Amino acid sequence: MEALIIVDMQRDFMPGGALPVPDGDKIIPTIEELIEKFKKKGALIVATRDWHPPNHISFKEQGGPWPKHCVQNTEGAEIVVKLPQNAIIISKADKPDKEAYSGFEGTNLAGILKEKDVKKVYICGVATEYCVKATALDALKHGFDVYIIRDAVKGIKPEDEEKALKELEENGAKIISSAEL
Ligand SMILES: [Zn+2]
């Protein structure tokens, strides 16, 4: 079984949002095409989301590094790609005192994937050098074959993005393009 993992495609991470990834919205059509392709294959579609309480530890007001973003049940936290009804939504960093860049951290994602006998995970979304990277590294640690879809991820800074992709490759992830799928 294969899974498409869509990382943090939320309004606050898009241009105009609270913590925007430049051109983050440009990958929406590519991701929606991928969703259709994976749906046809009968693959599992997973979407992770930041799901922070209003007093989350990562916010500047609490001494954290980030402006307030992706607060639970607000517009900023909404997922901006069209998901199939049976998509699995993984909410992360949903407690005030816990940060999580990875979709595996503090969630049951690994258990869900293993239960469905998933072997290969294909990762897309934002931001490449933060939550995409952390999610991919954890997927590798859990023993999955990991593919990063290069034209369906977006980073905040191009040089950091390239560094992250290199690190992922060194750790065993394969960088592919959506045209190969
Ligand atoms: Zn966050």
Between the two ends of the chain, the Cα-to-Cα distance in Å is 15
Residue 156 phi, psi dihedral angles, 5° rounding: -80, -50
Between CA 148 and CA 12 the distance in angstroms is 22
Q: If you measure from the C-alpha of residue 160 to the centroid of ligand 1, how many angstroms do you get, rounded to a whole number?
A: 18
pLDDT at 42 (0 to 100): 96
Cis amide leading into 127 (omega within 30): yes
Q: What is the band of 131 on the pLDDT scale with cuts at 50, 70, 90?
A: very high
Q: What is the pLDDT of residue 99?
A: 97
The pTM of this model reads: 0.98
pLDDT tens by residue, 14-51: 999 999 999 999 999 999 999 999 999 999 999 999 99
Centre of ligand 1 to C-alpha 41, Å, is 31
* Sheet with 2-7, side-by-side order of all strands: 88-92, 44-50, 2-7, 120-126, 145-154, 174-176
The residues that are catalytic are: 8, 92, 131
pLDDT (0 to 100) of residue 124: 98
| Number of domains within the chain | 1
Residue 163: the pLDDT is: 98
- CATH number for the domain that contains residue 80: 3.40.50.850
Q: Render pLDDT for 64-103 as a digit per residue (tens, 0 to 9).
A: 999 999 999 999 999 999 999 999 999 999 999 999 999 9
Domain enclosing residue 109, as ranges: 2-180
